[in-house]
Amino acid sequence: MTTTWRIAVLGSGLMGAAIARTLAAAGHAVRAYDPEPGRAAEAVAGTPAIAVDALTTAVEGTDLVLEAAPERLDVKHALLAEVEPRTTGILASNSSTFTPSQLAEHLADPGRLLVTHWFNPADLVPLVEVVPHPRTPAASVDAVVALLEGAGKHPVALAREVDGFVGNRLQAALVREAMHLVETGVATREQVDAVVRHGLGPRWAAVGPLRVMELGGLDVWEAVADRLLPSLGDATEAPAMLREAAAARRVGTLAEGDFGAVPREVADADRARIARRFRDG
């Protein structure tokens, strides 16, 4: 593999655009493609990446093809199957939910595929989860990890695939308990967020949850686990708090103060705050 990679990023939405810009800024030859006319050009305007109008042009001669298509398995299946015979490079998906085995169901050589799960905003969040297919060669994983490190990212290569990978599984575990505490009247949404923002979050961000356990004493955490785990929320599907708010949002009936009814100016300010936190370290 050459030092300068030839990369196609397929999909120029929020994630694909930021991924293309990041890899191009790291000195790689990036082609951006999107089926919507003009979208790729707009996404990479002012960057070293180039926009192309044809899928075949995008993937020809590439070392890596990274799909950032909508999170629909049928769409990703069709795109990857079309791309596979047109390049000898590594195939990667930015899926946040589908495992490599699910994504590679219709590929002639499923071992060519792995997941590179970037986090939004992709140009600011250092973490990228690298999830191999059971047949992905270790050399391919190592090469992609080195590419991401060279682009200023912090790749974490998982030993095996699992639904949700690591980041989303951790998020799901936390938000399940957060919603359980709200639904059972223990605390308000604002109070739960405050506990994370002003206590748990900064500690975890500094050293990680398992290191916090080590620092706090494993004997203490053994007792905490025995005492608390049996009483935690155990929902196996979206709780009513989430399902009802999502349904109301779809039909436009959310009222001020409802879960999910965040005014645009507040949402913009929150996103800016998140970006500053990553930008400032």
Q: Which whole number is the average pLDDT over 187-191?
A: 97
Sheet of 127-132: strand order equals: 50-52, 29-33, 6-10, 64-67, 90-93, 113-118, 127-132, 154-157
Question: Whole-angstrom Cα distance, residue 6 to residue 23?
Answer: 10
Does pLDDT of 66 surpass 70?
Answer: yes
Q: Which whole number is the average pLDDT over 111-121?
A: 97
pLDDT band at residue 13 using 50, 70 and 90 as cut-offs:
very high
Helix axes of 209-216 and 218-228: crossing angle, nearest 10 degrees: 110
Does pLDDT of 1 surpass 70?
Answer: no
Does pLDDT of 110 surpass 80?
Answer: yes
Check: CB of residue 160 under 8 Å from CB of residue 134.
Answer: yes
Q: How does strand 113-118 pair with strand 90-93?
A: parallel
Does pLDDT of 2 surpass 60?
Answer: no
Among 153, 143, 145, which Cα is nearest to 119's? 153
Question: Whole-angstrom Cα distance, residue 5 to residue 53?
Answer: 20
- Tell me the Ramachandran region of residue 236: left when phi exceeds 0, alpha when psi lies from -120 to 50, beta otherwise: alpha
Among 33, 142, 16, which Cα is nearest to 87's? 33
Task: List the domains of the chain with CATH numbers.
Answer: 6-157 (3.40.50.720), 166-233 (1.10.1040.10), 237-281 (no CATH)
Question: Whole-angstrom Cα distance, residue 92 to residue 117?
Answer: 9
Determine phi and psi for 125, rounding to 5 degrees: -75, 125
pLDDT band at residue 3 using 50, 70 and 90 as cut-offs:
confident
Tokens for 31, please give them.
Answer: 């082609």
Among 65, 89, 87, 60, which Cα is nearest to 76's? 65
Question: Whole-angstrom Cα distance, residue 210 to residue 82?
Answer: 42
Q: Which whole number is the average pLDDT over 37-53?
A: 97
pLDDT band at residue 33 using 50, 70 and 90 as cut-offs:
very high
pLDDT digit string (tens) for 235-270? 999 999 999 999 999 999 999 999 999 999 999 999
pLDDT digit string (tens) for 213-237? 999 999 999 999 999 999 999 999 9
Average pLDDT, the chain: 96
Global pTM reads: 0.93
